Amino acid sequence: MTKRIGILTSGGDCPGLNAAIRAVVSHATLTYGWEVLGIPYATQGLMEAKASRLTVHCQDLRGIDPLLSLGGTILGSVNKGDTVANADAIIAGYHRLGLDALIAIGGDGSLAILHTLAQKGNWNLVSIPKTIDNDVALTDRAIGFDTAVNTVTNALYNLSCTAASHDRVMVVEVMGRASGHLALNAGLAGGADVILIPEIPYTIDSVCRKIRELRERWGRCFAIVVVAEGARTLEGGFVAEKDAEGHLRFHGIGDYIADRVCRCSEGNLEARVTVLGHVQRGGIPSALDRLLATTFGKAAVDLVAEGRFNHMVAWQHGELVSVPQTEVFAKSPTFVDPNHFLVQTARALNVYIGEFVNETMVGPGTGSSLIPPLAPHTELVPQ
């Protein structure tokens, strides 16, 4: 039976979204003969029942298909707006568009919102995980993470060169919200001396001790400090500001660390800060992200064909699987396990990655050894 399916991208963008859109359109139209409607700006487009028909003929004149490697999202995206107040209008948009199913590409927050709307509005929803934070549960990888790890790793190499020339401490602030997956992976791949992540609290004294040790013991006069934007001190302090809608936005931890490092060295250390910011969200998707996006897109269409709704496609232990959305959102966002082998590898390589955590800091009911997320902490580190 000919179906009409919708596709949208929601939440913060990342590299690989267009590759997923391309796979969905190609498989749905060529294999199944369905019509695919691209919905602009996620819930905003649904609310206005706006959509345009997507076809596989999006190559340029010489036959090159640019979508596989194009960063961002051709559909646009939103990560704000009152989806509670506008729920009825958004739900109605799905039905006004005459959709048989909707494929949503999003992070844990925006997919959870769409899942709630789908339940309420009787939609047939299938989701695809994406986020540079890599904190969607039940999938080892989300689209965009690998490219962001590469972007940060490359930046660390560039910064190492100039740091070595000037004997400086380079503090690099990395995204990730309350999860440290990006900082940990890139910090390790980029040879950082210090990696600070939200899940493992740090002390400034230990950061300074590590930098001093590099000089005194190894004669190395520069240092690379990677700090996740949500990193917290042993006392639970973190640096953030509230946006206009009252949401907490992590920003400024890099300046805080650099300032404290200079102070504790009594002016002997010179530090510079690089906030990589949205550079981490852009660029050409890596080969791995393109593969992930392509397989996720194909698998999402197959789930629609099989009528297996309310599922998310996922990557687990090298296999492509699908998982119930309710289970995903019950467990998201995910945090770095302080006993993860990457953390152990960092410690073994003499990287300072925060203090050893004791049993009293392990959150109840969070599985292995996860530290509770940042939400319960209210104290802000003074700037």
Member of 7, 9, 10, 12 binding ligand F6P (CB under 6 A): 12
Query: Min. distance of Cβ 278 from ligand F6P in angstroms?
Result: 6
* Residue 232 in contact with ligand F6P, rule: CB under 6 A: no
Determine the 3-state secondary structure of 147 from DSSP: helix
Residues 6+ apart with CB under 8 A from 190: 152, 153, 154, 155, 156, 157, 160, 224, 226
Query: Min. distance of Cβ 332 from ligand F6P in angstroms?
Result: 12
Applying CB under 6 A, the span of 19-27, 40-48, 111-119, 169-177 interacting with ligand F6P comes to: 169-177
Contact 88, 94 (CB under 8 A): no
160 or 185, CB closer to ligand F6P?
Answer: 185
* Residue 146 in contact with ligand F6P, rule: CB under 6 A: no
DSSP-assigned letter for residue 366: S
133 labelled catalytic: yes
Q: What is the dihedral of CA 41, 42, 44, 49, to 10 degrees?
A: 100
Q: In 107-148, which ranges are E strands?
A: 125-129
Return the residue matching tokens 């925006």.
Answer: 110
93 or 190, CB closer to ligand F6P?
Answer: 190
Nearest to 183, CA basis, from 203, 199, 162: 199
* Residue 151 in contact with ligand F6P, rule: CB under 6 A: no
Helix, strand, coil in percent for the chain, rounding step 5: 40, 20, 45
* Residue 202 in contact with ligand F6P, rule: CB under 6 A: no
- Among the listed residues 133, 146, 193, 289, the single catalytic one is 133
Closest residue to ligand F6P: CB criterion: 175
Sites for ligand F6P among residues 107-136 (CB under 6 A) = 107, 131-133
Query: Min. distance of Cβ 92 from ligand F6P in angstroms?
Result: 27
Applying CB under 6 A, the span of 171-179, 210-218, 291-299, 354-362 interacting with ligand F6P comes to: 171-179
* Residue 175 in contact with ligand F6P, rule: CB under 6 A: yes
Which phi and psi (to 5°) does residue 175 adopt?
A: -70, 180
Tell me the C-alpha distance between 234 and 202, whole Å. 5
In the complex, which residues of this chain contact ligand F6P (CB under 6 A)?
12, 79, 107, 131-133, 175-177, 229, 250, 281
The residues annotated as belonging to the active site are 133
